[in-house]
Chain A
Amino acid sequence: MASTPKFRPSFLLAFRTAALAVALSGGAAAMPAVAAELKIGLSSEVTTLDPHFFNSGPNIAFHHHLYDSLVDVDAEGKLIPALAESWKAIDDTTWEFKLRRGVKFHDGSEMTADDVLFSLDRPAQITASPGPFTSYTKPIVAKQAVDRYTVRLKTASAYGPLPLDLISIFIVSKKAAAKATQEQFNSGAAAIGTGPFKLVSFRKGESIEIARNDAYWGAKPEWDKVQFKVLASDAPRLAALLAGDVDLIEAVPPADLAKLKGNPKIGLAQHTTWRTIFWQLDQFRDVSPFVTDKAGKPLAKNPLKDVRVRQAISKAINRQALVERTLEGLAQPASNLNSPGIFGYNAELKVEAYDPQGAKKLLADAGYPDGFGLTLHGPNNRYINDEQVVQTVAQFLNRVGIQAKVETQPLSVYFGKARASDYSMAMLGWGSLASDFTLRSIVGTPNPDTGWGTWNWGKYSNPAVDKLVQQALGSVDVARREDFARQAVKAAMSDYAVIPSHHQIATWALRKGLNYKGRIDEFTYAYEVHSVR
């Protein structure tokens, strides 16, 4: 690094500032000499500006800049008021939300209960969505605008997580969005929200420009203008930061972290995320497809149905070594299915101690003194160092006598097969802001009618766990709900329903002089980036 780029006061900056001045003409009288501008390198594409069309992480993260929801979460995943100043359950099946008064949409009109009801209805009316938002609006069976600033929502049965569901439903202007097409959202004509920024331009797959909303109801962002660039590949994203093309990047490639730490011009921000990696075990078949004897012949009995074998697998994994070496410090060992601080996290549960002798003994007790053969499956382009993690765990299992083989696939192939329960032991990562939600999807008894266990590949089923999860979801009292959720986590974990491995840590890299605290949901919010004074 003999000579790194100096400040380049190109005509480019002047050009952009001029363009901004035009865009804001008639706006603030006292324009600063040089507009404060932030450039962010995104790791995935924002596919639409319609906040109700496609539910994906990158979309939701960006939409937060243009739109607000009734309820939001802070950087640690705790609920905070947004467009709703307060909310409470009036009875077991009725929630009342008091709206913030005087909030203006980007077109100057006031946000009222009408817009809220419209926005809650809209996800169900969207057709041809590959990832609809209806899972969040479905619990609501009736909606009512009590007055201009009060909304009441009815659920069919007592349902505690409703406010949490509503963090994902953005409020759009009824006037602008009624009958609007995707194209009208993407051109900006219908992309009218109440958020801290207004849309300037959207070049799909390339860049998005937004400008500060000076009429914003909350803390106004520091940046006059923000540009997001889509830099999906790792190396170019990093190069753009090093070259000064962008000020901040998300999803820093793990392999380059060590090098970045020594760079005096770059700072790092890290945060433990909600994404917890765990192993699902086949617990419904008597003969499991990837369990064999040591000669490779199928085993007549499925050892994974025996809780002692599941415990042995858990004890065989040295989680500390896994996160320090294989994951290069970008994870922390897990004892729960959710990260510490997430609603319902049970702090009583301790990370399983590495105990190969104990694992061998448990295997012998279960009738497998010589172990058995097992193929581990995982993705190879989804989680931090995922392929290496699968290999490392296979080595740990080999040490206690389980002859483990490894097979990894790209996500597009892997998820389909895993969801069809084709595997015997398979890796999954899950991010959620409530542990009762996680348990419902991951260890709840699969049932298409209730929608439980949709990602329970191993088809674990335990009526006691189901009941506790049901009690948590059915409690509108927050303390009661969290208590049930904690009990449910404990019941599922002590039965080794799945084997938790680690919580991922996300990394952002930014130029010196900027500060970002990071977020548990891995999102990158321009309005939470500050310059250091």
Chain B
Amino acid sequence: MPLFILRRILQSFNVLFVMSLLVFAGVYAIGNPLDLLVDPNATADDMARAAASLGLDQPLWVQYGRFLANAMRGDLGNSFIHGVPALGLIVERLPATLELAVVAMLIAVLLGIPLGLWAGLKPDSWTGRAIMAGSILGFSLPTFWVGLMLIMVFAVQLGWLPASGRGSTADVLGVSISLLTADGWRHLLLPAANLALFKLSLIIRLTRSGTREALLQDYVKFARAKGLSNARVVGVHVLKNILIPIVTVVGLEFGSLIAFSVVTESIFAWPGMGKLLLDSITQLDRPVVVAYLLLVVTLYVLINLVVDLLYAALDPRVRLAGARA
């Protein structure tokens, strides 16, 4: 097991290296940030001085070499426009994004699995059909449209919830969390619901098809023949067996919730990481873009690792490669 984890970590360094090279070259190719950022009245001399102080006067390979050398020491560079470390800028926004992602995922899982089970157990009932129809809507409606509708209905028309932004926060060990205040929850509900909708539909459909398949299996028939209660058959035997694909998908989707909830974050002006990425790309703030994507890769590697470990826990047949070595 430790060897398995070690091997995973070594592999991820390769991924990080290739990723940094691609992103670095990609942002470089879009354009020169100084053309956007420097005051129009600046002279060529001012431009040259600004370029030199940011290291932008060097050829690409020198800039990349410097970046690598600093990255080895854990320094991913300063944001051009904020003048503070890029990594710090991202980590500052991590709590906001994490709480949004966690709440959205909880909504999706806590609603999705029961609804999916119901639809799988009673596929021909009108409730089962209604759940499936709803999940198709959840899949096909564009996120930004649903977000705007939520704002129009709940914030503008009814005035129940605020339209955007993050609520007041409370500090826990130096991390500001808005889940601990009522105002924080009021602000969180709409964006979390918006973000959860797609994942919810996905989980409903996965659970339903898994359930329908499992119900036909011999072990379910056997369990029923043994006279087990319906609750135990569904809650233990069916549920445990259909969880494996759901855990995989939830893991990967959680990664994308954290890294790329850009649309929801910009519609609700949620001060999370996705919005930072978008702003940084449009302003060609390369250090932030590179640091961001490196962080995301790391995050995915970690999530995949957790998913693999969960497999082993859920399914005794799964052996982690390397566990034998």
A205-B159 in contact given A132-B49, A232-B279, A454-B42 (Cβ < 8 Å): no
Query: Which chain A residues border B82 with CB–CB below 8 Å?
Result: 47-48, 182, 204
Query: Nearest B residue to A242 by beta-carbon distance?
Result: B156
> What is the minimal beta-carbon distance from B30 to any residue of chain A, in angstroms?
6
What string of 1s and 0s marks CB contacts (under 8 Å) between B150-162 and chain A? Answer: 0110011111001
CB atoms of B45 and A448 under 8 A apart:
yes
Query: Nearest A residue to B47 by beta-carbon distance?
Result: A454
Q: Which of A132, A236, A240 gathers the greatest number of chain B CB atoms within 10 Å? A: A236
Query: Whole-angstrom distance between the alpha carbons of A203 and B93 in the complex?
Result: 10
Q: Is A219 in contact with chain B by the CB < 8 A criterion?
A: no
Query: Nearest B residue to A229 by beta-carbon distance?
Result: B165
Query: Whole-angstrom distance between the alpha carbons of A131 and B42 in the complex?
Result: 9
Interface positions of B from 38 to 57, Cβ below 8 Å from A = 38-47, 49-50, 53-54
Q: Is B248 in contact with chain A by the CB < 8 A criterion?
A: no
CB atoms of A413 and B40 under 8 A apart:
no
CB atoms of B183 and A129 under 8 A apart:
no
Query: Nearest A residue to B34 by beta-carbon distance?
Result: A130
Query: Whole-angstrom distance between the alpha carbons of A3 and B153 in the complex?
Result: 10
B interface, by DSSP: helix, strand, loop or mixed? helix
CB atoms of A245 and B41 under 8 A apart:
no
Q: Which of B46, B49, B268 gathers the greatest number of chain A CB atoms within 10 Å? A: B46
Query: Whole-angstrom distance between the alpha carbons of A73 and B193 in the complex?
Result: 46
A205-B276 in contact given A236-B163, A240-B163, A243-B159 (Cβ < 8 Å): yes
Interface positions of B from 1 to 49, Cβ below 8 Å from A = 30-47, 49
Query: Nearest A residue to B266 by beta-carbon distance?
Result: A233
Q: Is A461 in contact with chain B by the CB < 8 A criterion?
A: no
Query: Whole-angstrom distance between the alpha carbons of A451 and B38 in the complex?
Result: 14
CB atoms of A441 and B40 under 8 A apart:
yes
Query: Whole-angstrom distance between the alpha carbons of A48 and B152 in the complex?
Result: 32
Q: Is B208 in contact with chain A by the CB < 8 A criterion?
A: no
Query: Nearest B residue to A11 by beta-carbon distance?
Result: B182
Query: Which chain B residues border A47 with CB–CB below 8 Å?
Result: 81-83
Q: Interface residue count for A (Cβ, 8 Å)?
A: 69
Counted as pairs of residues, one from A and one from B, with CB atoms less than 8 Å apart, the total is 184
Interface positions of A from 89 to 115, Cβ below 8 Å from B = none
CB atoms of B40 and A412 under 8 A apart:
no
Query: Which chain A residues border B39 with CB–CB below 8 Å?
Result: 55, 131-133, 135
Interface positions of A from 55 to 93, Cβ below 8 Å from B = 55-56
CB atoms of B32 and A416 under 8 A apart:
yes
CB atoms of A233 and B53 under 8 A apart:
no
Q: Is A183 in contact with chain B by the CB < 8 A criterion?
A: yes
A239-B156 in contact given A231-B164, A232-B279, A413-B31 (Cβ < 8 Å): yes
Query: Which chain A residues border B93 with CB–CB below 8 Å?
Result: 205
Query: Nearest A residue to B33 by beta-carbon distance?
Result: A130
What string of 1s and 0s marks CB contacts (under 8 Å) between A1-17 and chain B? Answer: 11111101001100100
Query: Which chain A residues border B151 with CB–CB below 8 Å?
Result: 236, 239, 243
Query: Whole-angstrom distance between the alpha carbons of A416 and B271 in the complex?
Result: 29
Q: Is A216 in contact with chain B by the CB < 8 A criterion?
A: no
Query: Which chain A residues border B256 with CB–CB below 8 Å?
Result: none
Q: Is B148 in contact with chain A by the CB < 8 A criterion?
A: yes
Query: Which chain B residues border A54 with CB–CB below 8 Å?
Result: 37, 81, 83
CB atoms of A129 and B164 under 8 A apart:
no
Q: Is A392 in contact with chain B by the CB < 8 A criterion?
A: no
> What is the minimal beta-carbon distance from A279 to any residue of chain B, in angstroms?
17
8 contacts between A and B (CB under 8 A): A48-B82, A50-B83, A54-B81, A135-B39, A233-B266, A236-B269, A410-B282, A455-B40
Q: Which A positions have Cβ atoms within 8 angstroms of B?
A: 1-6, 8, 11-12, 15, 45, 47-48, 50, 53-56, 127-136, 138, 182-183, 186, 203-207, 229-233, 235-237, 239-240, 242-245, 381, 410-413, 415-417, 419, 430, 432, 437, 441, 448, 450-451, 454-455
